[in-house]
Amino acid sequence: MRLISARLIVSLIVGITLVSLAFSFYEVQIEKSNLRRDLERRAEVLGESLAGNVERSLEKSTTRDLQRIVERFGNREHLLGIAVYDQQGARLAVTPGLGQRLVSTPLALDQAVIGNHPAGNFVYLGPESAHVYTLPLHRDDQIIGVLAIVHDASYIGAQSRHVWRQTFQRVLVQVFLISLITLLIVRWSLTGPIGRAAQWMRALRMGGVSGRQSPPDCDFLRPLAHEVATFAQSLNQARFAAENEARLRDAGESLWTAERLAVHLQARLGDSRLFVVSNREPYIHSRQGKTLEVMVPASGLVTALEPVLRACDGMWVAHGSGDADRETVDSIDHVAVPPDDPRYTLRRVWLDKDEEEGYYYGFANEGLWPLCHIAHTRPLFRTSDWEHYQQVNRKFADAVLEEMKDTERPVILVQDYHFALLPRLIKEKRPDARVAIFWHIPWPNPEAFGICPWQRELLDGLLGADLIGFHVQSHCTNFLQTVDRALESRIDWERFSVQRRDHDTMVQPFPISVDFTDAESPASTPVCDSMERPLLLKELGVDAVFLGVGVDRVDYTKGILERFLAVERLLEKYPLYRDRFTFVQIGAPSRTHIKRYHDLLNDVEAEAERINWRFQRNKWKPIVFLKGQYSHREIHRYYRAADLCLVTSLHDGMNLVAKEFLAARHDEQGALVLSRFTGAARELRDALLVNPYDLSQTAEAIRFALEMPPEERRARMQRMRRTVRENNVYRWAGNLIAELCEVRVEAARPAAAAAHISGIQTNSPAA
Ligand code: F6P
């Protein structure tokens, strides 16, 4: 840094000096020529005014008159003197004092006589500079003599020297001031921030600072800091993974990690590639004024699949739903994600408003969603929605087929109820592809599913897959029973598979999970847990002793209203918890374009308000409803600070909030109150299982969670954490893909693509 300061200062000094000298030189030249011109003009004026008198005196030939004239005019400013010569150059009269200086005849005299016009020169009279102006004197057009006017010109040189002296003084002051200012700027704006940034980077490298924290007051270093933070985060994660691997090796455990999944996928996929298809994309770009923002949506599916894609550099095909999504893709609709640290490719598929309305809001979320969730909201089946659903499935099939055209034996994981028709559409064109579909929501019993007018088409589309995954065994059983009732097919209840049109489809449970290691990594715990609760309550402006938390999309299947009512029941029955227990509900508005969801959001707000109004006192209130999209980081703060987490879904395929909460509690504290109607309840037997419709039971579970002996709380938490740790999302993906890769598919892709995908087959069973 010293070398840079010295170089900067030397360059500034040289620069300033050169510029000042150039300007001063120019200034001096201008000044000199002005003074000279002024002197010449003065000599001319004096010459013209004297010429008449001198000519007359010459006529009379009186030397005394001449002498008197020259003496009279000889004492003007800067005038050294006047002399009169005859036409031969003999001096006739001269101002006293000038005689000794004018030892020789001035050159200008000859010029005036020869040219017969005034002439002027700057000459040296001894050491002094002078200006000699000569004017021919006439009688009847004949030159009878020459008048010489001599001015002192040495003051012009003195003036130039004065300007140069001033220049040097100015340069000196400027150089001093600029060097001082440069040094201060370097110190304040460069050396200081860089020093602090270096300290911050060192802390990052050692894992002492959270990677997302920016270095203080270093605006110009922010882009660099951002890169370094991402780099350090990857480094910490790698370090953490390596330590974890070593620990596991040491303990002889065979836990699934991102690294293990990556190796597993490489071995299974070989030259092939993994393609994931879902409606919801993992990164949504949107415009906030002039800035481009990236948002990770509140979706269990995204939470689960993101680490899988990161581990294997696959491709994720999804609906581009952000208002700035088109700005961020390349010419073939690809964008590398995560934006900060690209690991895989996201291919966006565009839908117009009608398609989105009919396929997503209509058929998927007003039809299939309430059909599969037993939550007492009536499904709506509109023909136009069904047509859009088919159209969008075909659109996605085309996109996937295009993306995998150069991949032999591609592996495709289709996600969820948005794409029931996709497996068959892909398989028809690419029999060499291995296709699985994972159904993230429950599958109801055959009677419930049977009310769907297009159940056969949906089942036929699904049975194009080689493997269909559900979260739990009972959903697999429900599915096979539905197929049995609705389609002509052979069901193997031993292997849990369906044979239809000479194609076998396996149906198996794969309980989805979370990335447990990520929640445990040091970067995710910036504040000590005991500090977190008072900090959060202070931020919320609430005084409380106990804290409960719930995190959901605002969806009628999540039982949010039932949860609030259970809190109310607790406060009614156990007044001891008034002033002491606060429940924070983080609720991400979801699908609000659908009236049922829009109304629900209002109902949730109104219910929270009603209960608060009833019990609220001073700075305490029973319910805080935080409406909005919260980042994983913010949610984790609540998970870690809470005494309990409430998951009261009326029906849920799995529910990853329950597992995220457990993964976040590395302090082994906190209790989980969990609806028995979630898939997670099958695995998490140490949760306090409740029927969410039974408000008193939930209220009792909350009380028990708060009053449970600490040893029991810890023991339950330890066991549940072990379950989630062992059955993490890497195991889920590893098992699913391993099973899929076991499937025997056609040796090679067909020479020519199959004929046009011709709508959906509707062959009905004997039943
Ligand atoms: O449970 C099914 C699911 O796809 C989840 O993965 C996710 O939480 C939710 O639905 C997403 O809803 P949406 O994409 O409609 O916001």
Supply the DSSP string of 167-225, one letter for each residue: HHHHHHHHHHHHHHHHHHHIIIIIIHHHHHHHHHHHHHHTT-S-TTSPPTT-GGGHHHH
- Mean local confidence (pLDDT), 284-299: 91
Of 301, 513, 651, 678, which is best to mutate to test ligand 1, by the most ligand atoms within 8 angstroms of its C-beta?
301
Secondary structure percentages of the chain, helix, strand, coil, to 5: 55, 20, 30
pLDDT for the residue numbered 301: 81
Is 441 near ligand 1, meaning CB less than 6 Å away? yes
pLDDT-based confidence at 598, cuts 50/70/90? very high
Q: Are residues 488 and 625 in the same domain?
A: no
Any domain includes 179: no
Instruction: Kindly give the distance from the C-alpha atom of residue 369 to the centroid of ligand 1, in angstroms, as a whole number.
Output: 10
Ligand 1: nearest atom to the Cα of 303: 6
Residue 756: predicted pLDDT:
40
User: Closest ligand 1 atom, CA of 304?
Assistant: 6
- What is the model's pLDDT at position 372? 98
Percent of the chain with pLDDT over 70: 91
Question: Does ligand 1 lie within 6 Å of residue 278's CB atom?
Answer: no
Show which of 120, 140, 158 is a domain's final residue. 158
**Interval 627-641 mean pLDDT:** 95
Ligand 1 atom index nearest CA of 553: 8
Q: In which band, very low, low, confident or very high, does the pLDDT at 1 lie, cut at 50, 70 and 90?
A: low
pLDDT in tens, 451-461: 999 999 999 99
CA atoms within a 13 Å half-sphere pointing along the CA-CB vector of 268: 22
Residue among 375, 374, 308, 376 nearest 344 (CA):
308
695 pLDDT above the threshold of 90: yes
For residue 274, give the CATH number of its domain.
3.40.50.2000
How many A from CA of 655 to the centre of ligand 1? 11
**How many Å lie between the centroid of ligand 1 and the Cα of residue 301?**
6
Would you say the CB of residue 591 lies under 6 angstroms from ligand 1? yes
CB of 280 within 6 A of ligand 1: the answer is yes
Most ligand 1 atoms within 8 A of CB, residue of 279, 280, 413 to mutate: 280
The answer to the question of residue 341 being in a domain is yes
Banded pLDDT at 754 (limits 50, 70, 90): very low
More confident of the two residues 529 and 697:
697
Ligand 1 atom closest to Cα of residue 302: 6
What pLDDT was estimated at residue 757? 39
The mean pLDDT of the chain is 88
pLDDT score, position 203: 74
Q: How far is the CA of 650 from the centre of ligand 1 (A)?
A: 16
Euclidean distance between CA atoms 544 and 218, whole angstroms: 38
* 67 against 485, higher pLDDT: 485
* Residue 519 lies inside a defined structural domain of this protein: no
- pLDDT for the residue numbered 478: 98
CA count, 13 A, side-chain hemisphere, 66: 25
Beta-strand (E) ranges in 614-701? 623-627, 644-647, 671-675, 688-690
Question: Are both 300 and 353 inside the same structural domain?
Answer: yes
**Phi and psi of 138, rounded to 5°?**
-125, 155
Give the pLDDT confidence score for residue 758 in this predicted structure: 37
DSSP string across 722-736:
HHHHHT-HHHHHHHH
Q: Is residue 189 very low, low, confident or very high in pLDDT (cuts 50, 70, 90)?
A: confident
Out of 100-104, 426-430, 738-742, 749-753, give the one with best mean pLDDT.
426-430
Say yes or no: 504 and 552 in one domain.
no
The protein residue with its alpha carbon nearest to ligand 1, atom 11, reads 299
299 lines ligand 1 (CB under 6 A): yes
In a domain, 488, yes or no: yes
pLDDT of the residue at 32:
87
Top mutation candidate among 276, 299, 363, 371 for ligand 1, by most atoms within 8 Å of CB: 299
Residue 500 has pLDDT above 90, yes or no: yes
Atom of ligand 1 nearest to the CA of 652: 1
* Same domain flag for 471 and 539: no
- Atom number of ligand 1 nearest to Cα 364: 15
Give the model's confidence band at 194: pLDDT under 50 very low, under 70 low, under 90 confident, else very high.
confident
Find the 562 Cα to ligand 1 centroid distance in Å. Answer: 21
- C-alpha of residue 287 to centroid of ligand 1, in Å: 23
Atom of ligand 1 nearest to the CA of 416: 4
List pLDDT tens digits, range 312-335.
889 999 999 999 999 999 999 999
Interval 102-107 mean pLDDT: 78
591 Cα to the center of ligand 1, angstroms: 10
pLDDT over 50 at 3, yes or no: yes
pLDDT for 229: 72
Whose C-alpha lies nearest to ligand 1, atom 2? 440
In this structure, of 113-127, 271-285, 405-419, 548-562, the range with the lowest mean pLDDT score is: 113-127
**447 and 570 together in one domain:** no
Q: Which two tokens stand for residue 21?
A: 């000298």
Ligand 1, atom 12: closest residue by C-alpha: 299
Buried b (16+ CB within 10 A) or exposed e, 454-473: bbbbbbbbbbbbbbbbbbbe
CATH number for the domain including 30? 3.30.450.20
| Shared-domain flag, residues 320 and 231 | no
Pocket test for ligand 1, best of 440, 551, 677 (most atoms within 8 A of CB): 440
Q: How far is the CA of 300 from the centre of ligand 1 (A)?
A: 6
Question: Of 162-171, 326-335, 670-679, which range is least confident?
Answer: 162-171
Q: In this structure, what are the phi and psi dihedrals at residue 709, rounded to the nearest 5 degrees? A: -60, 140
What residue's CA is closest to ligand 1, atom 4?
301
Q: Are 14 and 142 in the same domain?
A: yes
Nearest C-alpha to atom 14 of ligand 1 is from which residue?
Answer: 280
Structural domain boundaries, residue 506: 259-513+748-756
Output 81 or 642, whichever has higher pLDDT.
642
Give yes or no for residue 703 having a pLDDT over 50: yes
β-pair type (581-588, 546-553): parallel
Higher-pLDDT residue of 123 and 528 is 123
- Ligand 1 nearest-atom number relative to CA 297: 16
The residue nearest atom 9 of ligand 1, judged by CA position, is 299
- Range with the lowest mean pLDDT among 58-72, 314-328, 370-384, 687-701? 58-72
Q: What pLDDT, on the 0 to 100 scale, is given for residue 104?
A: 79
Ligand 1 atom nearest to 365, measured from its CA: 15
300 touches 656 (CB < 8 A) = yes
Residues 482 and 506 in one domain: yes
Minimum mean pLDDT range among 7-11, 225-229, 553-557, 683-687: 225-229
Range scoring the smallest mean pLDDT among 50-59, 91-100, 516-525, 704-713: 516-525
Instruction: Measure 299 CA to ligand 1 centroid, in angstroms.
Output: 5
pLDDT for res 749: 56
The residue type at 120:
G
Nearest CA among 627, 660, 632, 646 for reference residue 705: 646
Residue 755's pLDDT is what? Answer: 39
Residue 34 domain flag: yes
Query: 91-94 and 79-86: which strand pairing?
Result: antiparallel
Share of the chain above pLDDT 90, in %: 56
Cα–ligand 1 centroid distance for 444 (angstroms): 17
Residue nearest to atom 15 of ligand 1 (CA): 591
Condensed to tens digits (0 to 9), the pLDDT of residues 385-420 reads 999 999 999 999 999 999 999 999 999 999 999 999
Q: Is the pLDDT of residue 751 over 50?
A: no
Higher pLDDT, 251 or 766: 251
Given pLDDT bands bounded at 50, 70 and 90, which one contains residue 358?
very high
CA of 280 from ligand 1 middle (Å) equals 8
Pick from 547, 536, 554: nearest CA to 601:
554
pLDDT-based confidence at residue 298 (cuts at 50, 70, 90): confident
pLDDT above 60 (res 735): yes
What average pLDDT score do residues 436-444 get? 98
Do 483 and 375 fall into the same domain? yes
The residue whose C-alpha atom lies closest to atom 6 belonging to ligand 1 is 301
The residue-averaged pLDDT of 288-294 equals 91
Given the CA of residue 278, which atom of ligand 1 is nearest to it?
A: 4
Over residues 238-264, the pLDDT tens digits come to: 766 676 665 566 555 678 888 888 888
- Give the per-residue pLDDT at 245: 66
Q: How far from chain centre, in Å, is Cα 691?
A: 43
Residues 13 and 136 in one domain: yes
520 belongs to a structural domain: no
Let me know whether 344 and 371 are in one domain. yes
Cα radius of gyration rounded to whole Å, the chain: 47
In a domain, residue 78? The reply is yes
Higher per-residue pLDDT: 610 or 304: 610
Query: What pLDDT, in 10s, does the model give residues 562-578?
Result: 999 999 999 999 999 99
The per-residue pLDDT for 752 is: 44
Non-local CB neighbours of 228 within 8 Å, separated by 6+ positions: 201, 204
306: CA distance to ligand 1 center in Å?
Answer: 14
Give me the mean pLDDT over the 606-614 stretch.
98
The answer, yes or no, to whether any atom of ligand 1 lies below 6 A from the CB of 377, is no
Count how many domains the chain has: 4
Whether residue 604 lies inside any domain: the answer is yes
Top pLDDT among 188 and 426 is at 426
Decide if pLDDT at 764 tops 50: no
Considering the domain architecture, whether residues 317 and 377 belong to the same structural domain is answered as yes
**Residue 48: band (very low, low, confident or very high) from pLDDT cuts 50, 70, 90:** confident
